[in-house]
């Protein structure tokens, strides 16, 4: 399983765009990049997944460069309710076992 | 109603006691997982099950056992609890027939304290 590296923590003011970058230098051809969000005292929640280029949904955007060795989760105009831990995972296609690292703790400031 | 439920939500027990944490799901998923979360260590996989007859050890299975009683139920047991098993425990499910990879759905967690 490919190892990921992401910042331990980030602070942002309300209304700003937040970009969290994840490095995954040894990503394999059949791996997908997946992000989960975990609010305090809750289980993680899937937010977005991509293989290459850009993916956007109602929660976030995911940017993946051509070499796929890194990815950036973008949260537009964050609010206080976006304060959470964000986990970047590299998940093999069709494979079940995943590894959650320690994630990035995002603190949104009023 | 929540799709993935865990009971109890909070439990305090003493060293040496046997304790069972239960997980039930109404999502119809075939795969179920147990994780523990400790401050600063992220989530670590204890056991996982791909179907009723399949049980697999995760990263940290020592001191734990599981039972998959039905597709919808997956229980985690601590045969003789010890203080370093104090943690937040999460159950998760996923569907092998959906999407290119496993997307996991987590329960609300059980906070276990072993004195």
Per residue in A59-81, pLDDT (tens digit) is 999 999 999 999 999 999 999 99
Neighbours of A28 (CB within 10 A): 12
8 Å CB contact of B104 and A93 = no
pLDDT over 80 (residue A97) = no
8 Å CB contact of B109 and A42 = yes
Q: Give the tokens for residue A96.
A: 């079940």
Comparison of pLDDT for B54 and A94, the residue scoring more? B54
Chain pair A-B, CB pairs under 8 angstroms: 60
Q: Using CB atoms, pick whichever of B35, B101, B105 lies closest to residue A49.
A: B101
Interval B35-90: pLDDT, tens: 999 987 888 999 999 899 999 999 899 999 999 999 999 999 999 999 999 999 99
pLDDT at site A95? 58
8 Å CB contact of A94 and B101 = yes
Q: Give the tokens for residue A47.
A: 């937010």
Closest Cα in chain A, distance from residue B105 (Å)? 7
Q: Give the tokens for residue A18.
A: 């937040």
8 Å CB contact of A44 and B104 = yes
């Amino acid at each position: 399983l490919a190892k990921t590296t992401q910042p331990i923590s980030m602070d942002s003011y309300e209304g700003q765009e937040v970009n969290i970058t994840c490095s995954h230098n040894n990503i394999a051809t059949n791996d997908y990049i997946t992000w989960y969000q975990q609010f305090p005292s809750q289980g993680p929640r899937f937010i977005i997944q991509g293989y290459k280029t850009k993916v956007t949904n109602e929660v976030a955007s995911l940017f993946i460069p051509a070499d796929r060795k890194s990815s950036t989760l973008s949260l537009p105009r964050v609010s206080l309710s976006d304060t959470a831990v964000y986990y970047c995972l590299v998940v093999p296609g069709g494979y079940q076992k995943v590894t959650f690292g320690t994630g990035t703790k995002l603190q949104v400031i009023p | 109603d929540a799709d993935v439920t865990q009971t109890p939500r909070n439990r305090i027990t003493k060293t040496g006691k046997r304790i069972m944490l239960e997980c039930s799901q109404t999502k119809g998923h075939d795969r179920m997982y147990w994780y523990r979360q400790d401050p600063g260590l992220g989530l670590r996989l204890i056991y996982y099950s791909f179907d009723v007859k399949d049980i697999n050890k995760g990263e940290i299975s020592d001191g734990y056992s599981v039972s998959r009683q039905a597709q919808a139920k997956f229980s985690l047991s601590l045969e003789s609890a010890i203080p370093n098993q104090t943690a937040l425990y999460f159950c998760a499910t996923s569907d092998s027939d959906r999407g290119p990879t496993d997307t996991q759905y987590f329960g609300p967690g059980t906070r276990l304290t072993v004195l």
